[in-house]
Structure 1
């Protein structure tokens, strides 16, 4: 069937990745997520694991403050992901979103492409929230 929606698990490759996570031993799941993120970041040429990498990034984001649960992903619960996966997931999403030959270029409907890019941007916001701002003090100057 290919791709049927803009969600991280709305395509065959990501659904297969979810199935693989479901059948893997619990202690292997963290490494499966890490492996697909690193492979995508380090890839040269075509990003063959981009759909799985977006799904993995969504799983990591789901465990972050402000993250949303993954509805269509693995049926088994995921272990707690180490904090270093947040940075990897963010780097991976940047790579996927900007790859001219990857999923970003495959959308037929421009509105779907924009909505998909918005999903990636939302995931990135959760993975790497903007730095806290410190209000400037209003200091009166002597006259």
Structure 2
């Protein structure tokens, strides 16, 4: 695993994906992100590491354009501007992230064996929560009858 940290672009595959986005025509970049998310969101069998890493990077780019998101800050991510990504990519990114951390993910297996695995899972959950915030528990309301 050519990985140096837990960030979305902190591995060889995602860094290469960032470079591929920079080299692509501006109008092709959103479809590249969509395809990466689609491959991870609905794997034919087992989600391989490379597809998982591209999906995490793509989800981070979707999060970066979310009103409550933060920039996908990394010297390894794309440096060229991205078009405005369609809002429907948000739920596709959620589905992809869910697959990335599932039992059918090679990437999740690799991180389960790593010392920083729990921190990686927290980072994935943070990305997911921006796109699909958890519903806060509601206090029980008591009514007088």
TM-score (norm 1): 0.87
Corresponding residue of 1:96: 100
Which of the residues 43, 59, 62 maps onto 2:61?
A: 59
1:50 matched residue in structure 2: 52
The aligned counterpart of 1:71 is 73
**1:109 alignment counterpart:** 114
Measure the CA separation in 2 of the matches of 1:68 and 1:16.
Answer: 21
Runs of 4+ with deviation above 2 angstroms: 107-110, 130-139
Cα distance in 1 between the residues matched to 2:120 and 2:45: 22
Partner of 1:38: 38
Structure 1: distance between partners of 2:88 and 2:68: 17
For residues 54-92 of structure 1, the C-alpha deviation after alignment (integer angstroms, 9 at most, x for no partner) is: 100000011112211111210011111111000000000
Length-normalised TM-score, structure 2? 0.86
Unaligned runs of 5+ in 2: none
Q: Which has the larger radius of gyration?
A: 1
2:85 pairs with 1:81: yes
Does the aligned pair in 1 maintain the 2:42–2:96 contact within 8 Å?
no
* Cα contact 2:36–2:54 (8 A) shared by 1: yes
CA distance in 2, matches of 1:130, 1:86: 14
State how many pairs are aligned. 140
- Tell me the distance in 2 between the aligned counterparts of 1:41 and 1:121: 16
Distance in 1 (CA, whole Å) between partners of 2:104 and 2:42 is 16
- SS state at 1:98 partner: coil
Are the structure 2 counterparts of residues 128 and 25 from structure 1 closer, same or farther at C-alpha, using a change threshold of 3 Å? same
